[in-house]
Amino acid sequence: MTLPTVDFLLVSAVLFAIGALGVVIRKNPLVMFMAIELMWNAVNLTLVAFARQFLAIAGHIFVFVVVVVAAAEVAIGLIVIVLVFRNRSEADVDSLNTMKG
């Protein structure tokens, strides 16, 4: 018994909506960063669902590339967030609107 593609797309839409709400509502850069990663994973789930439906390996390969790029983005993003937290005492995105040295 296999699940239809619509079920995967509904789960993906819910994950993407939760991630988008996390980016819009939260002010902590780390939480916003995790919400963006949740949105990436929702898109990856959609790509895998369509690749499964059309029996194409290209979707799986594209997801692999996206995961590799996301891993590099996480490494660089966490370094930037840690450096910002080290230089400033507060962790609010609204206070980070200027790029003063």
Write the DSSP string, 36-47.
Answer: HHHHHHHHHHHH
Q: Which residue has the higher pLDDT, 74 or 94?
A: 74
pLDDT at 65: 94
C-alpha span between 24 and 30 (Å, rounded): 13
pLDDT at 45: 96
Q: Which residue has the higher pLDDT, 82 or 44?
A: 44
pLDDT per residue over 16-29, tens digit each?
999 999 999 988 88
What residues does each domain of the chain span? 5-93
Q: Which of 40, 34, 25, 37 is nearest to 93 (CA)?
A: 25
At 97, the pLDDT band (50, 70, 90 cuts) reads low
CATH topology of domain 5-93: Helix Hairpins (1.10.287)
Q: Provide mean pLDDT across the span 75-80.
A: 89
pLDDT per residue over 13-67, tens digit each?
999 999 999 999 988 888 998 999 999 999 999 999 999 999 999 999 999 999 9
**Assigned token pair, 55:** 């029996």
Residue ranges of alpha helices (H) inside the chain are 5-25, 29-53, 58-87
At 86, the pLDDT band (50, 70, 90 cuts) reads confident
C-alpha span between 15 and 33 (Å, rounded): 15
